[in-house]
Structure 1
Amino acid sequence: MPEDYHRPPSQTTTSPDSVADRTRAVVQQFLAARLAGDTARLASLFAEDVDWQLAENPAVPWIRPRSTAAECAAQFTELAQYTVPEDAWASVDTLLVDGADAVLMGHLSGTVRATGKSFEGPFALRLTVENGRITRHHLYENSLSIAQACAS
């Protein structure tokens, strides 16, 4: 390459209106609503049709198939009903955003109200945001620990 060759400036945009910035903003709103227990706000953040994935386990009453905004938001209410809110804890160690997709990684723990048993483990959550609403919610967590905590 000749010494006087200059590469053109990057064509990528970093404007606040980029897809990744909009995705990050919705994810931050999702986390704030989740932390506040604001199910109405959570429901407004989910699209009408959601690709919801969470390993089913009949021993865990709050884990079941969901596909609508109302069903997705209700999961957080059901989780609070079946666990001890004061013992619930989660940390997000990593948030990666690429266009419409976001991945959160961290650690969670809690106690099942009916058994008094605790669960804990790492998690990864993949969210996709389209037109300002969450269209994909795939949660990967320590389902064995949760099922064991639910067992009598």
Structure 2
Amino acid sequence: MSVQTIAGTTETIQEFFTRFGAGDLTALLDLFTDEVDWNVPGSATVPWTGRRTTKEELAAFFVSAGEEVETTERFEVDSIVAEGDTGVALGRFIHVIRRTGKKFSSEFALHIAVADGRIRLYHMFEDGAAAAEAFAA
């Protein structure tokens, strides 16, 4: 299967959100380089936090996020700013953690770097304390 790359950094970030929202794991993973610098700082009690570097690790993240989180109330990207191969997306969301039924709301900043239309760096910043609280029974 050939990988279709996206023209620019802003378009790549927009396409990430489109594919993530559609739940198409194969298409989503195609947006990433074979090795990626992925980091979501947070608590060890939150399954999606931590560092990842391979597509297998990313696939496990996306599957876990789909199983653990319901985002029906709100997910908004307020702005995407890009310069060269680096971009930042700012937004907000409200998640419901399925295993506890607790809501987790946060603003977020997503730092992405792109190489040849594919994501090589993904650093997500959200309210880690609120996430850990939502996972606490």
* TM alignment of 1:129-140, pairs within 5 A: 129-140=114-125
Gaps in structure 2 of 5+ consecutive residues: 1-6
Greater strand proportion: 2
Q: For 1:114-150, what per-residue CA distance to the aligned partner results, in whole angstroms no more than 9, with x for missing partners?
A: 1111110110000000012100000000111110000
Q: Is 2:45 aligned against 1:59?
A: yes
Coordinate RMSD, CA, aligned: 1.5
Describe how 1:110-129 pairs up with structure 2 within 5 A.
110-129=95-114
Higher relative contact order (CA 8 A, sep 6+): 2
Could you list the per-position Cα deviations for residues 11-40 of structure 1 after superposition, in whole angstroms to 9, with x for gaps in the alignment? xxxxxxxxxx61122112111101101111
Equivalent residue for 1:99? 84
Superposed displacement of residue 85, structure 1: 4.6
Determine the C-alpha separation between the residues in 2 that align with 1:73 and 1:29: 17
| Percent identity of equivalent pairs | 33
Q: Normalised by the size of structure 2, how large is the TM-score?
A: 0.88
Q: Would you say how many aligned residue pairs link Structure 1 and Structure 2?
A: 131
4+ residue stretches of structure 1 with deviation over 6 A?
Answer: none
Displacement of 1:63 in angstroms is 2.2
User: Is contact 2:42–2:129 with CA below 8 Å preserved after alignment?
Assistant: no
Match of 2:14 in 1: 28
**3-state SS, counterpart of residue 53 of structure 2:** coil
Q: 1:146 pairs with 122, 128, 131, which one? A: 131
> 1:43 aligned to 2:29?
yes
| Structure 1 unaligned blocks of 5 or more | 1-20
- Whichever of the two has the greater Rg, that structure is 1
